[in-house]
Homo-oligomer: A and B are copies of this chain.
């Protein structure tokens, strides 16, 4: 089979982690007889430098005509003082919207081998953590009307959080489907005691729940959810929430696992999925062969599973990563005494060897 992948190396450590990931994918292709074709495109800071805009039209076109998109990371201090609509982050928001990627899946998993890196006490973690945050990604306050206006208290700026019934319904369905394949517990997170949009959100989630009698549905206010992730993260299986709350809670959840350099993500919903590590562009270590490529490598495992239905190949990659961790190889971000420190390239090579 032929698979066309649009590749966005992006900024900072993006190109390095993407390089190793493409090598892993090539090896998978070789072993299983798949043809992965890559088209490299510009987005983020490097696109600003070369074309003047964070998301050139050509990038969007190529992404739209590919089978899946793989992204390294975008952004960095170099572009931090540009006006809002010209910053590298616009590329992310633009692709999400253009591809209709309304469902962002962020697994927060504690890797057995990295237990020591978890900031929480062992008695809270027990035998591990495995939470899947399902974040709405093309609506809410990220994409609602925004602007400036005059008020009696001086100039004011506003952003509108808005959700329609259909927007909530499709993300809720997505979350229930995922919960059904996991431990069948879905926690809806909103702020229905204050926000009108949350009240609509919650009522639609409750409505969708009727089609999933096998899934237990809980509701939690966002402030409480932020607490519970620290107090007792094991209570969560799947969480579903808005774009803004999901941004905050998924980052908190991944930090709670202590495995943040390891965590992949998938953005789904349209015909084409986008896959990326949840870590950022880490400009401080860019180009030094220090970055951990595992999160990006696990992101292509998600790509194989969700976009290409290649479950076996996905599992092979995940197993290879575990094997290498079991052999105590670590990049700097997950290194601790007594283990074997390796660079980006060597980590990639080891994983390919373990496939």
Contacts and interface: CB of A to CB of B under 8 A. Distances in A.
Given A226-B251, A256-B230, A193 B155 contact: no
A16 interface: no
A165 B148 contact: no
A222 B141 CA distance: 14
B197 A159 contact: yes
A154 B203 CA distance: 14
Nearest to A193: B89
Contacts of A33: none
A93 interface: yes
B230 A119 contact: yes
Residue of A142, A158, A192, A200 with most chain B CB atoms under a 10 A cut-off: A158
Contacts of A235: none
Contact of A164 (B155, B252, B254): B155
B165 A196 contact: no
Interface string A106-123: 000000000000111100
A153 B166 contact: yes
A151 interface: yes
A195 interface: yes
A330 to B, nearest CB: 18
- Interface residue SS majority, chain A: helix
B84 A196 contact: yes
Interface in A139-195: 141-142, 144, 146-148, 151, 153-167, 191-195
A249 interface: yes
A311 interface: no
A227 interface: yes
Contacts of A119: 120-121, 124, 230-231
A98 interface: no
A231 B254 CA distance: 11
Contacts of A144: 158
A327 interface: no
A192 B157 CA distance: 12
A17 interface: no
Contacts of A222: 247-248
Contacts of A201: 157
17 contacts: A84-B199, A89-B194, A120-B230, A121-B121, A141-B194, A147-B196, A154-B164, A156-B162, A157-B200, A160-B160, A161-B161, A226-B248, A227-B251, A227-B260, A230-B230, A245-B248, A252-B252
Interface of A: 84, 87, 89, 93, 118-121, 124, 141-142, 144, 146-148, 151, 153-167, 191-197, 199-201, 222-224, 226-227, 229-231, 244-245, 247-252, 254-256, 260
Given A156-B163, A156-B165, A222-B248, 16 more contacts: A84-B194, A118-B121, A153-B164, A153-B165, A154-B164, A154-B166, A157-B199, A157-B200, A159-B161, A191-B244, A222-B247, A224-B251, A226-B248, A226-B251, A226-B255, A230-B252
